[in-house]
Amino acid sequence: MRKTVFSFLALSLLISSYVFASEEVHMLLESERWRDRLAGIEEISETDFENKIEILTELLSDSKNEVRIAAVKAIIEIGGDESIPPLMLALEDERNFIRSTALAGILSSGLETATAISIALDDSESSIRLSAILAATELPNELAIAFMEKGLEDTNSAIRMASAKKIEELSYGSMEMNERCLTSLGKLVNDSDREIRLESIGALAAHRKDLSVKLLSSGLENSDDTTRLAVIAALGQIGIPSVVPSLKKGLEDKKTSIREETFETLQRINTPSSLKAIASAWNDPDKNIRKRLLVYLAVKGDNTVVPELGNMINDRDWNIREGVVYTLAAIGTPDAVDRILPALFDSDPKVKDAALASLKILKSPRSVETLGKMLLIDRGLRGEVAEVLATIGDRRALGYLIEVVNLERGEKREIIENAVKKLLADLHK
């Protein structure tokens, strides 16, 4: 009997104590002094209080930041499914540190993560949006890519960069995922931030696809020299036939260094279409690039490059024109001879000399008529032209030589007469 009375008294005291504690907490929470409300939250956190979540949720609308953040932390500490709705509510708080704390709590719980990320990505505070993007990288791929695509549109460069890196990682997935990722990365080729542009260009270069080429090509119009250079390098790395039309645009760039890089890239690709593209550099404003083209054509040294060399026979620099003549002579085909002939009337004597020397070696009958015209027009070089005609040994040359022999006196007349004698002797062999 005594034991029963004691148990009843203990229970009564416990109930009275709980009721008193409950009333005391409510008084604290309803106090006009914010420090009292803060103390009330601490009491709730430390005791086995009923309806904790409901009470703390009410405090999320408190006028004091200190109270709201304390309520958020208390809710996070409680955890579980019932903590998620009030934490979602806290994501709309006016203070970014409260929103950030609520987001961290949701993410750590692993519950309603996608919903929280979706809300946080619209937050006005960039640090919260960045936290959301970083959290989204851990989601399943199909869900992650959707959040990353939204991140690419963010005004904050750190968020766009984080999104780009995750998309780059995802690009090695299925074919469908690959194309989606490449298309997204292509939007960054002309991003306002150089580092992001370079990141996306490098990522696209890793995929040898026509889609990558198409997306990269837009970067050739970028105002930043470094970006355009990176695009040229990326196209060279891809190296498939479809890069050539894009690289040809690089040969028209206003910057000499970029045209040079494009030239080298096309050389490395070394296909018929790349050769044709390189040949368009014959009219480049930079002399060194035109010289490099001449060397490239000379090394290739077959009849396929003759048309390109023909374009260069009228180059603005005499030493390039001279080099073209000797290169054509080394090829030595009938087409090459035809391209040399205009150089006989060049404004520079060194180029004329190169043409005469080349034709003397080639001994092509195709050059006789043009040499005959030169013999009549260019009195200063009549002796040299006569010797070339005699060396070729074509009967048609006799008429030209006889026509001018009486127009000369002295040594030059003697040279022409000897040319006639040699030609007649060769014809009678």
Asked, for residue 91, whether it belongs to a domain, the answer is yes
Asked, for residue 199, whether it belongs to a domain, the answer is yes
Looking at the structure of the chain, the number of domains it has is 4
**Whether residues 45 and 114 fall in one domain:** yes
Query: Which CATH number is 333's domain given?
Result: 1.25.10.10
Asked, for residue 40, whether it belongs to a domain, the answer is yes
Choosing from 225, 247, 273, the residue where a domain stops is 273
**Whether residues 426 and 349 fall in one domain:** no
**Among candidate residues 92, 134, 98, 93, the one with its CA nearest the CA of residue 113:** 134
**Whether residues 117 and 200 fall in one domain:** no
Confidence at 17, pLDDT banded by 50, 70, 90: very low
Asked, for residue 154, whether it belongs to a domain, the answer is yes
Asked, for residue 2, whether it belongs to a domain, the answer is no
- Per residue in 206-244, pLDDT (tens digit) is 999 999 999 999 999 999 999 999 999 999 999 999 999
pLDDT of 21 over the 60 cut: no
Average pLDDT estimate for 402-420: 90
Asked, for residue 5, whether it belongs to a domain, the answer is no
Choosing from 70, 104, 136, the residue where a domain stops is 136
Asked, for residue 8, whether it belongs to a domain, the answer is no
Average pLDDT estimate for 138-154: 91
**Among candidate residues 330, 346, 329, the one with its CA nearest the CA of residue 338:** 329
**Whether residues 33 and 98 fall in one domain:** yes
**Whether residues 237 and 177 fall in one domain:** yes
Q: 373 vs 103, which has greater pLDDT?
A: 373
**Whether residues 116 and 146 fall in one domain:** no
Confidence at 162, pLDDT banded by 50, 70, 90: very high
10-24, 43-57, 327-341: which range is least confident on average? 10-24
- Per residue in 44-74, pLDDT (tens digit) is 877 776 788 888 898 899 999 999 999 889 8
Q: 308 vs 7, which has greater pLDDT?
A: 308
**Whether residues 415 and 292 fall in one domain:** no
**Whether residues 260 and 148 fall in one domain:** yes
Asked, for residue 88, whether it belongs to a domain, the answer is yes
Q: Give pLDDT, residue 287.
A: 95
**Whether residues 376 and 263 fall in one domain:** no
Confidence at 142, pLDDT banded by 50, 70, 90: confident
Phi, psi of 286, rounded to the nearest 5 degrees: -95, 125
Choosing from 324, 339, 362, the residue where a domain stops is 362
Q: Give pLDDT, residue 52.
A: 83
Q: What domain range includes position 418? A: 371-429
Mean pLDDT of the chain: 89
**Whether residues 146 and 259 fall in one domain:** yes
d(CA 251, CA 37): 72
Three-class DSSP labels, the chain: CHHHHHHHHHHHHHHHHHHHHHHHHHHHHCCCCHHHHHHHHHHHHHCCCCCHHHHHHHHCCCCCHHHHHHHHHHHHHHCCHHHHHHHHHHCCCCCHHHHHHHHHHHHHHCCCHHHHHHHHCCCCCHHHHHHHHHHHCCCCHHHHHHHHHHHCCCCCHHHHHHHHHHHHHHCCCCHHHHHHHHHHHHCCCCCCCHHHHHHHHHHHHCCCCHHHHHHHHHHHHCCCHHHHHHHHHHHHHHCCCCHHHHHHHHCCCCCHHHHHHHHHHHHHHCCHHHHHHHHHHHHCCCHHHHHHHHHHHHHHCCHHHHHHHHHHCCCCCHHHHHHHHHHHHHHCCHHHHHHHHHHHHCCCHHHHHHHHHHHHHHCCHHHHHHHHHHHHHCHHHHHHHHHHHHHHCCCCHHHHHHHHHCCCCHHHHHHHHHHHHHHHHHHCC
Which residues does 309 contact at the CB level (< 8 Å), separation at least 6?
294, 297, 324, 327, 328, 331, 336, 339
pLDDT of 267 over the 80 cut: yes
**Whether residues 55 and 129 fall in one domain:** yes
**Whether residues 92 and 110 fall in one domain:** yes
Q: Give pLDDT, residue 302.
A: 87
Q: Are 278 and 263 in contact (CB under 8 A)?
A: yes
Q: Give pLDDT, residue 81.
A: 82
> Averaging pLDDT over each range in 35-39, 85-89, 313-317, which range is the top one?
313-317
